[in-house]
């Protein structure tokens, strides 16, 4: 980190909102003291006093100065770890093969892949015509495009059906407001068709001159309108095709794998609705497949004369149906794969001769192959106790080869081509970990903690073989537990910097995910959300009781909704943890969910509840980390955020830290670090993001007295 000096005087910000004292040596900077400016927030006859509501204004110079003061304080506290941070950065970077390339996949006459060059932060997107021996065509060199930008993100890369044009989205702020650009792949020219305020993705019609895109609301960032654009025309004249007027829904558009249909998806937490139109007829009308019904979820794929529909219709863990393209409403759906109480249907991949099904059973990912003609089926074998397997990029129907990915806490990310007819697999690429990495040096397994209500809570765990499980090991427990998102046990070369220093690393598969099926999710949301937090603490207690670690060496980490998790667990049982890292934490739950101008609010009432309803207000208030801060000892904490975060606004963690400073009764370090140039995902560069991880690890090591 750069060493910023302060004058050897007390610096009083003239706005009078807060004061920072300091002296010439940054090591002696005192933590910022944010002034209380009470604001009353009243609903349901209940009044909350928010002393730090004034931080909700990123355009206010006073707010920026406060965030920068917090950054200076964080810098001063972590200054003794500067050399360690640099060592960690170089250590993590040294394991990564800088000159690297993805496994090419074939589509519409070309092999597509991305690659990295040594010393470069961003990918280069390429293709080769017909054969891998052909000359390389560089479609986008993001390193060149990103010059002069503090942040640069490309998404939605999509080649036109005639292979001549490339659509892609660019975000240079990290607010996830993408501008769509079009590149002529024959001449290299960037066309004038620049379309701002989109999701970045474009869906081409088959005429290669018309595409459809999704516009975002400038304030809430909700994806709410679909437009049609014809090349060469001013986007201001683009025709609006669809407007999603329900503020609890968002929308998007994509093309079917068959390339025959364009599909508009409208989605909320609990409901879906799809519309379809022939891709050969961009001037046609979209037709509804099945009108939305509250609680009815479905996803659509096309093959032959049918739409294949994964749905929860009378099926909590989902089942697979199909319906003729000309008769699509649910009374015409016929069953292909029935509902199963013990198997969660994650998704499908359709081939001419085979149906590939992604399932989760007892928490583990399975890939099932079904022969269309004979209906014979089998599962691909995986050997490890804890792993992650998934279907990868498979754009071709007419092949017997399935591409899938595999990884575990000890197995680097691997890409396989699997012949579904002969059942032979070919390893196309495994992530190369430079240095002396040997997977046999590490042990991974699954543990089961017991919650207070008797529920068994699974954990995936990894550590270096040879450590003594005597209760003296440092440990890091990671969790998320919201939206039904499951944190699968994947390999991380970065994590080796923990394991090789004797850490135990564990993932808590708590309720609120779908690790054990749909019910597992439903038991950790809305009026059962508290299960998510108590499950995590029960996992922590299990690690302590089973001598994997102790409270003086146990750390917790989570980000976004996982940051909410961090805030809740330390309010409930702070004594379990030596320290906590809360990244972009969603901690001001009630106030945020009452403000429908904030991105994501309206679309998440079915996840958290609508606090305008008193029952949900009372329940959310009972766990909202910001509201539940109390006069007690808290563990050491590092809280991170991004000024331009579009998912969790920066002021939530800023307010939380300010309130903790005022109320907590301990002397443990409390740090807030704001990335002033980034948003929810942090730095955009391949290696620059490692510096943020190095800071987090250095914070943990500092609490343990680890200096190397």
For 180, what's the count of Cα atoms within 13 Å in the CB-facing half-sphere? 29
Please confirm, yes or no, whether 44 is among the known catalytic residues. no
Percentages helix, strand, coil for the chain (3-state, rounded to 5) are 20, 35, 45
For 168, what's the count of Cα atoms within 13 Å in the CB-facing half-sphere? 21
Distance separating alpha carbons of residues 283 and 278, to the nearest angstrom:
9
Please confirm, yes or no, whether 680 is among the known catalytic residues. yes
Residues paired with residue 204 on neighbouring β-strands, in sequence order: 211
End-to-end CA distance of the chain: 17
Distance separating alpha carbons of residues 123 and 120, to the nearest angstrom:
8
Distance separating alpha carbons of residues 532 and 10, to the nearest angstrom:
44
Please confirm, yes or no, whether 560 is among the known catalytic residues. yes
| Active-site residue, from 250, 493, 680, 684 | 680
Q: Concatenate the DSSP letters of all residues of 244-279 into one string.
A: ---TT-EEEEEE-TTSSEEEEEEE-SS-EEEEEEET
Order of strands across the sheet with 343-350? 343-350, 354-361, 364-371, 377-379
- Phi and psi at 477, nearest 5°, equal -110, 125
Distance separating alpha carbons of residues 221 and 250, to the nearest angstrom:
10
Distance separating alpha carbons of residues 69 and 460, to the nearest angstrom:
39
For residue 544, which of 555, 534, 533 has the smallest C-alpha distance? 555
Distance separating alpha carbons of residues 432 and 412, to the nearest angstrom:
7
Q: In 477-560, which residue ranges form alpha helices assigned H by DSSP? A: 496-499, 518-522, 530-545
| Active-site residue, from 645, 646, 673, 684 | 645
Q: CA-CA-CA-CA torsion for 319, 324, 330, 333, nearest 10 degrees?
A: -40
Helices (H) then strands (E): counts for the chain: 12, 41
Distance separating alpha carbons of residues 216 and 657, to the nearest angstrom:
31
For residue 61, which of 15, 20, 29 has the smallest C-alpha distance? 15
Distance separating alpha carbons of residues 624 and 627, to the nearest angstrom:
5
For residue 249, which of 293, 202, 198 has the smallest C-alpha distance? 293
Residues paired with residue 100 on neighbouring β-strands, in sequence order: 116
Q: Which residues are catalytically annotated?
A: 560, 645, 680
């Amino acid at each position: 980190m750069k060493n910023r000096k302060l004058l050897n005087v007390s610096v009083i910000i003239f706005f009078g909102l807060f004061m920072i004292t300091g002296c010439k040596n940054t090591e002696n900077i005192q933590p910022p003291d944010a002034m209380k400016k009470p604001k009353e927030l009243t609903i349901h006859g209940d009044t909350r006093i928010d002393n730090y509501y004034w931080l909700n204004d990123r355009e206010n110079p006073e707010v920026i100065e406060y965030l920068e003061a917090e950054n200076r304080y964080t810098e001063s506290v972590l200054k003794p770890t500067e050399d360690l941070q640099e060592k960690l950065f170089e250590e993590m970077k040294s394991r990564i093969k800088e000159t690297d390339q993805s496994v090419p996949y074939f589509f519409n006459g070309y092999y597509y892949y991305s690659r990295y060059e040594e010393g470069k932060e961003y990918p280069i997107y390429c293709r080769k015509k017909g054969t891998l021996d052909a000359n390389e065509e560089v479609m986008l060199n993001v390193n060149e495009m990103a010059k002069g930008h503090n942040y640069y993100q490309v998404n939605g890369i999509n080649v036109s059906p005639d292979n001549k044009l490339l659509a892609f989205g660019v975000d240079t702020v990290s607010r996830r407001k993408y501008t769509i650009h079009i590149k002529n792949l024959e001449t290299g020219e960037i066309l004038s068709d620049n379309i701002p305020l989109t999701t970045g993705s474009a869906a081409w019609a088959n005429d290669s001159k018309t595409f459809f895109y999704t516009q975002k609301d400038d304030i809430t960032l909700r994806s709410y309108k679909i437009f049609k654009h014809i090349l060469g025309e001013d986007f201001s004249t683009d025709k609006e095709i669809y407007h999603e007027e329900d503020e609890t829904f968002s929308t998007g558009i994509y093309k079917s794998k068959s390339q025959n249909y364009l599909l508009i998806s409208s989605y909320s937490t609990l409901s879906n609705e799809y519309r379809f139109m022939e891709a050969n007829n961009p001037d046609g009308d979209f037709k509804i497949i099945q009108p939305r019904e509250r609680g009815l979820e479905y996803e659509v794929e096309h093959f032959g004369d049918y739409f294949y529909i994964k749905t929860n219709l009378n099926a909590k863990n989902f089942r697979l149906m199909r319906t003729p393209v000309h008769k699509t409403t649910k009374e015409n759906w016929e069953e292909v794969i029935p509902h199963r109480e013990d198997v969660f249907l994650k998704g499908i991949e359709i081939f001419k001769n085979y149906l590939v099904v992604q399932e989760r059973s007892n928490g583990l990912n399975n890939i099932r192959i079904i022969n269309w003609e004979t209906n014979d089926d089998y599962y691909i074998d995986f050997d490890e106790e804890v792993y992650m397997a998934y279907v990868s990029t498979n754009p071709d129907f007419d092949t017997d080869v399935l591409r899938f990915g595999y990884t575990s806490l000890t197995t680097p990310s691997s890409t396989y081509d699997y012949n579904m007819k002969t059942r032979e697999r070919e390893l196309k690429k495994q992530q190369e970990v430079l240095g002396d990495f040997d997977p046999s040096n590490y042990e991974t397994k699954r543990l089961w903690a017991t919650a207070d209500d008797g529920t068994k809570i699974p954990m995936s765990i990894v550590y270096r073989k040879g450590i003594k499980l005597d209760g003296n090991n440092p440990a890091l427990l990671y969790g998320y537990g919201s939206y039904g998102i499951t944190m699968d046990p994947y390999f991380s070369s970065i994590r080796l910097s923990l394991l090789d220093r004797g850490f135990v690393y564990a993932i808590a598969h708590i309720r609120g995910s779908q690790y054990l099926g749909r019910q597992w999710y439903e038991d950790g949301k809305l009026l059962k959300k508290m299960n998510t937090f108590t499950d995590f603490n029960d996992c922590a207690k299990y690690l302590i009781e089973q001598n994997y670690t102790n409270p003086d060496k146990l750390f917790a980490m989570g980000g976004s909704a996982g940051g909410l998790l961090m805030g809740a667990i330390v309010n409930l049982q702070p004594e379990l943890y030596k320290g906590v890292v809360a990244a972009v934490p969603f901690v001001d739950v009630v106030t945020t969910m009452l403000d429908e101008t904030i991105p994501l609010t309206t679309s998440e009432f079915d996840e958290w509840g609508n606090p305008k309803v008193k029952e949900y207000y009372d329940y959310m208030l009972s766990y909202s980390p910001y509201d539940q801060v109390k006069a007690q000892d808290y563990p050491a904490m590092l809280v991170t955020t991004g000024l331009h975060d579009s998912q969790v606004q920066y002021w939530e963690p800023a307010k939380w830290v300010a309130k903790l400073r005022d109320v907590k009764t301990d002397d443990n370090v409390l740090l807030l670090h704001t990335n002033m140039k980034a948003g929810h995902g942090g730095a955009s560069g391949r290696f620059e993001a490692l510096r943020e991880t190095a800071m987090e690890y250095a914070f943990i090591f500092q609490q343990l007295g680890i200096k190397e």
